[in-house]
Amino acid sequence: MFFHLLLILKQLNSKLKCSKQLQSKLWLRELLCISLLGFSFVACISQANAANPKILVYGDSLSAAYGVAKSQGWVAFLQKKLADQHFQYDVINASISGETTSGGLTRLTSTLAKTKPNIIILELGANDGLRGLPVNEMSANLNTMITQSKKANVKVLLVGMKIPPNYGPKYTDSFSNTYPQLSQQHKVTLVPFMLENIAAKPKLIQDDGLHPNVLGQPMMLDNIWPKLQPLLKR
């Protein structure tokens, strides 16, 4: 396009019998036109190649839309909410049903390198609790994942979890206290309890008694969004 324009202008110059002053003006006009078009072309290329920032959802079945269609999971609703509120983020869901903090830790380095997120929503630990795994090991795994994420310049949103009281008060208290302790230690934002106003309501839970149904999925996002929004940039 630019070379074609240049050829036309040069042909006009050669045909015009004008003064040196007029030729000089035409030549300046030609240079200005080419420069402006070139600038516009570069700007369009830069805009086309500009990748949206990424939000990595790194969790277990609660974030993997277990028992419901992917389009009805809270992560899918998050992508829609971001678009509706004009936040140009791409959401990457790397959640795996049954994942523990140990499993999450083993794949975090490669996942961060591959996805290059700006924000990580770290939602792990529920399966550690349900299996009665040592809380100190869960805490150590989460601690390392937060540290690795921060070293990669990734903002961390830590999602807290609680477990049923039948595990005993000592274990359940130690488990639930892990999240605010890590949040305070690393100065990262905390969602106190992902299933707030959901867990105790059977009509919002699937028949397994653990996972939110299609009615509970948007409510999980409602619990997460107020803590996530301040981390976002337009």
pLDDT digits (tens, 9 = 90+) for 5-39: 333 334 434 443 444 443 444 333 443 333 333 33
Considering the chain, what is the average pLDDT of its residues?
85
In this prediction, what percent of the chain has a pLDDT beyond 90? 77
Catalytic residue among 35, 176, 211, 222: 211
Long-range (24+ apart) CB contacts under 8 A made by 176-184 are: 178/125, 178/135, 178/138, 178/139, 178/142, 179/125, 181/139, 182/139, 182/142, 182/143, 182/146, 182/158, 183/158
The pLDDT value recorded for residue 41 is 33
Three-point CA angle 63, 52, 125, nearest 5°: 20
What does the pLDDT read at residue 158?
99
Q: What are the domain boundaries of the chain?
A: 2-49, 54-231
Does the pLDDT of residue 88 top 60, yes or no? yes
- Is 61 a known active-site residue? yes
The reply to whether 208 belongs to the active site is: yes
- Respond yes or no: is residue 86 known to be catalytic: no
What region, left, alpha or beta, does residue 8 occupy, with left being phi > 0 and alpha being psi -120 to 50 degrees? alpha
Tell me the pLDDT tens digit for each residue of 176-210: 999 999 999 999 999 999 999 999 899 999 999 99
The catalytically annotated residue of 95, 102, 208, 222 is 208
**54-231: which CATH number, 2.160.20.10, 3.40.50.1110, 1.10.1270.20, 3.30.360.10?**
3.40.50.1110
Q: Which of 61, 95, 174, 183 is catalytic?
A: 61
Its pTM stands at 0.79
